[in-house]
Homo-oligomer: A and B are copies of this chain.
Amino acid sequence: MASTDLVDLRRDLHRHPEPAWREFYTTARVVDELEKRDLDARYVGREVLGGDRVGVPDDAELDAWRERARAAGARTDVLDRLDGGYTGAVAVVERGEGPTVGLRVDIDALPIEEAAGDGHHPAAAGFRSENAGYMHACGHDAHTAIGIGVLDAVLDSDFAGTLKVFFQPGEERIVGGEPMANSGHLDDVDYLFAVHVGLDHPSGEVVAGIDGFLAVSQFEAEFRGASAHAGARPETGDNAMQAAAAAIGNLYGIPGHSEGATRINVGVIEGGTATNIVPERVAIEGEVRGETTALMEYMNDEARRILDSAAGMHGCEVAVGTLGHAPSARSDPELRGVVADVADGTDGVTSLLESDRLGGSEDATFLMRHVQERGGKAAYVGVGTDHPGGHHTPTFDVDEDTIGLGIDVLAGAIAETAARRP
């Protein structure tokens, strides 16, 4: 079972859910916790993100969230270091000779309005989201708490080697993984673990190494035509609404692929100004996925052609941009074996799966691939938790006992990895 402190931390984070690049309160809260501990190094903001970022909101949006974090009690000195929406942190523990082991946890939340009824535990227990329209509906609050807890466990052990815990922003938008992978902090990592709670596994069940990550690429497309008075001069318009509708209808019609699963979704749309004006602008956001990165690229190529053609069909232009993206990746069997062995001997683990397929996407894959490409190994560990509502729904919640179990399994696996060097 997790300490009361970690449950409190999780609930505090749960009350302050923040989306990608706006994890101001969350990062400040993490830094608070790190400073309480005897770490060898702490990095935050620009220090933990390399290369370009996508999906960064405009300054007004960033300022609003930062002010909200300040009002909620976040430390001003930390907030200053997150200027520009450079959120996230890395904690380092160096304990003599040994391999460098990483643990990645994600810290961001979702644009979902949390359930308010008494049947929803966070509401009944008084830690429902205070940020209207946003919610920790995927358990990243628990992940963050596990990250802190693992630091404690390792600090309290005879671990030999270096531990780095990556508090990654922007997983839900698939925008944080690549910059963090490119930060340099992963370059010397020999073994990397990532962790996710739930995923339809009940409390007590552990998945040693998850596979089946779909490669994903998110896009935004802005159709631009020419407005016109819809009653008096309809023929002079170039209708961005028709272009968008043609695009959507046909995007979903990209044929499946014989080599594996593919997906497409248009998740957001917005455009037009008035009923009597032929719309000159409609913007959509969507994503393509594939069981492999190649399959995702196939979908992407098809989608681009359809977007272009739909625009041209209605005399419009379309500007297409890439938002978040992530490759596929695999858990290494050796590291998976370590986790399985540790989990097998951990109190509270009642069911153990060697492997499972995610079926979704994750930008932990950027970090996993970064390590694997340099000769290291990676495993994505699932820690089951009873969750009343599904992931990404308003009634999602976690069994808080999972936090302690996750810490035990991961700290155990980190120790064993260092000892065994699989």
Residues of A whose CB lies within 8 Å of any CB of B are: 110-112, 172-174, 214, 216, 218-219, 227, 229-235, 237, 239, 241-242, 244-246, 248-250, 252-253, 255-259, 261-263, 265-279, 282, 285-287, 289, 298, 305-306, 308-310, 312-315, 323-324, 358-361, 390-393
Contacts and interface: CB of A to CB of B under 8 A. Distances in A.
Contact of A305 (B173, B227, B313): B313
Contacts of A245: 244-246, 248-249
Contacts of A248: 241-242, 244-245
Interface-centre pick from A214, A250, A298 (highest chain B CB count, 10 A): A250
A278 B265 CA distance: 7
A201 B393 CA distance: 47
20 contacts: A111-B273, A231-B360, A234-B257, A235-B256, A241-B266, A241-B269, A242-B252, A244-B245, A246-B313, A265-B277, A268-B271, A268-B272, A268-B274, A269-B271, A270-B270, A275-B323, A275-B324, A305-B312, A305-B313, A309-B309
B272 A266 contact: yes
A231 B263 contact: yes
Q: This chain: how many copies in the complex?
A: 4
Contact of A235 (B234, B242, B249, B298): B298
A253 B249 contact: yes
A258 B276 contact: no
A306 B392 CA distance: 28
Contact of A253 (B112, B252, B267, B268): B252
Given A218-B276, A235-B258, A269-B269, 4 more contacts: A250-B313, A267-B278, A269-B282, A305-B315
Contacts of A359: 231-233, 258
A112 B273 contact: yes
B313 A229 contact: no
B255 A255 contact: no
A250 to B, nearest CB: 6
A397 to B, nearest CB: 17
Nearest to A274: B267
Nearest to A200: B232
A114 to B, nearest CB: 14
A315 to B, nearest CB: 7
Contacts of A277: 265, 267, 392
A231 B250 contact: no
Nearest to A262: B256
Contacts of A253: 242, 249, 252-253
B267 A269 contact: no
Nearest to A110: B274
A274 B271 CA distance: 16
